[in-house]
């Protein structure tokens, strides 16, 4: 099975009438995702790929029972679109938009916590439970169903890890991009217990990067409550301080957020930390086989 999504996930696509929204709606439907509604303000009444389009999220939820939402909305409007979904009672929101101002996300996250809404992203390729449900823009064909849960701050680096695993014949339970921004939705520390509780996840891959303290918090959670083997890679060992490495969140400031500190914290918590990105797949294979039955 998987975490966060499953057979009962009924998906709403916000921004379904835009180029990207339309294209990926088609791709997600092909993958088997149950898309029940789309929303674009002012475009209600149409159908896109057979999916009914509504003007507002609350209307779409009422008519279709949608319980998860994926957003293809420009960054300037994304914060508002997330809030609209949460206010309408959606409990899982996946936001792909890159470039949402940090202060907007601080306010959005505070509201989501009040509502008990889970957010994936922003600035993420989304999440996928191979063979069941794809809520994102990743290429479905590189994935395979299986026992490894993946949580990552990066997009293409996650594809790389998935590809290495699938090549080794090891599938994935759920792969989640937590996003590359400084403030966002579910963190490593919040996802790890979900993987720990998921009976179909046998091992966890954590793909971190420089900046912030998400990996240190993950290490504390792992030490406290994760018994499944965890393999980690931290990107950005060679990154210089004070420079933003693409992702808004990937920046070493005032000596904090370094790869060294993260690696040390994870090793301390018993995590297998891989030095070369070429070795992630094989280390996961080793770590899960080594696991006591």
Partner 1 sequence: MRIHEYQAKRLLADYGIPIAPSRPATSVEAAVGAAEAIGLPVAVKAQIHAGGRGKAGGVVLANTVGEVHAAAERILGAPLVTHQTGPEGRVVKTLLVEKAAEISDELYLGLVVDRARRRIVVMASRAGGVDIEKTALEDPDAILKEWVDPTIGLRPFQANRLAHRLGLDGTAARGVAGIVRSLGRLFRELDASLAEINPLVLTEDGEPIAVDAKLTFDDNGLSRHPEIRELRDLNEEDPLEVEATSVNLNYIKLDGNVGCLVNGAGLAMATMDLIQHVGARPANFLDVGGGATAEMIEKGFGILIADPDVEAVFINIFGGILRCDVLANGVVAAAKAMDIDVPVVIRLEGTNVKAGREILDRSGLAFRTASDLREAASKIAAAVGEGS
Which of 24, 143, 247, 272 is catalytic? The answer is 247
H-state helical runs in the chain: 19-31, 57-64, 75-87, 102-115, 156-167, 188-197, 214-225, 259-268, 280-290
Is the Cβ–Cβ distance between 168 and 282 less than 8 Å?
Answer: yes
Instruction: Confirm whether 24 is a catalytic residue.
Output: no
Q: Give the nearer residue to partner 1 in terms of CB position, either 25 or 154.
A: 154
- Looking at 182, 190, 193, 286, which residue binds partner 1 (CB under 8 A)? 182
85 touching partner 1, by CB under 8 A: no
Stretch binding partner 1 (CB under 8 A), from 43-51, 52-60, 260-268, 271-279: 271-279
What CA–CA distance (Å, rounded) separates 285 from 263?
A: 20
Residues 204 to 263 in contact with partner 1, rule: CB under 8 A = 207, 209-210, 212-214, 217, 233, 235-240, 242-250, 254-255
If you search the block for the tokens 């149409």, which residue do you land on?
46
b/e string for 38-50 if b means 16 or more Cβ within 10 A? bbbeebeeeebbe
CB of 150 to partner 1, least distance (A): 12
Residues 118 to 147 in contact with partner 1, rule: CB under 8 A = 125, 137-139, 142
Angle at 138 between CA 137 and CA 139, to 5 degrees: 120
Is the Cβ–Cβ distance between 95 and 84 less than 8 Å?
Answer: no
Q: Which residues are catalytic?
A: 247
Residues that bind partner 1 (CB under 8 A): 75-76, 99-103, 106-107, 109-111, 114, 125, 137-139, 142, 152-160, 163-164, 180-183, 207, 209-210, 212-214, 217, 233, 235-240, 242-250, 254-255, 275-278
């Amino acid at each position: 099975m998987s975490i966060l999504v499953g057979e009962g996930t009924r998906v709403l696509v916000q921004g379904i009438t835009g180029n990207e929204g339309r294209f990926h709606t088609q791709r997600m439907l092909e993958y088997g995702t149950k898309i029940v509604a789309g929303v674009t303000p002012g475009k209600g009444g149409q159908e896109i790929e057979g999916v009914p389009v509504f003007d507002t999220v609350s209307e779409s939820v009422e008519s279709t029972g949608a319980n998860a939402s994926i957003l293809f909305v420009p960054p300037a409007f994304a914060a508002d679109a997330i809030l609209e979904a949460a206010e309408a009672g959606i409990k899982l929101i996946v936001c792909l938009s890159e470039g949402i101002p940090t202060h907007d996300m601080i306010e959005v996250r505070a509201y989501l916590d009040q509502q008990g809404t889970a957010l994936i992203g922003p600035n993420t390729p989304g999440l996928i439970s191979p063979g069941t449900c794809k809520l994102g823009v990743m290429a479905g064909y590189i994935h395979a169903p299986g026992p490894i849960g993946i949580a990552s701050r990066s997009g293409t680096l996650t594809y790389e890890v998935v590809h290495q695993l699938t090549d080794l014949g090891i599938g994935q339970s759920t792969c989640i991009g937590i996003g590359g921004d400084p403030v966002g939705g579910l963190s490593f520390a919040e996802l790890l217990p979900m993987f720990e509780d998921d009976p179909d996840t046998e091992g966890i891959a954590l793909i971190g990067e420089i900046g912030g303290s998400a990996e240190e918090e993950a290490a504390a959670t792992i030490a406290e409550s994760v018994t499944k083997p965890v393999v980690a890679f931290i990107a950005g060992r060679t990154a210089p301080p004070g420079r933003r490495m693409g992702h808004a969140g990937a920046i070493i400031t005032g000596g904090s957020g370094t790869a060294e500190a993260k690696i040390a914290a994870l090793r301390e918590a018993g995590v297998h930390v891989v030095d070369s990105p070429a070795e992630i797949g094989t280390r996961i294979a080793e770590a899960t086989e080594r696991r006591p039955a």
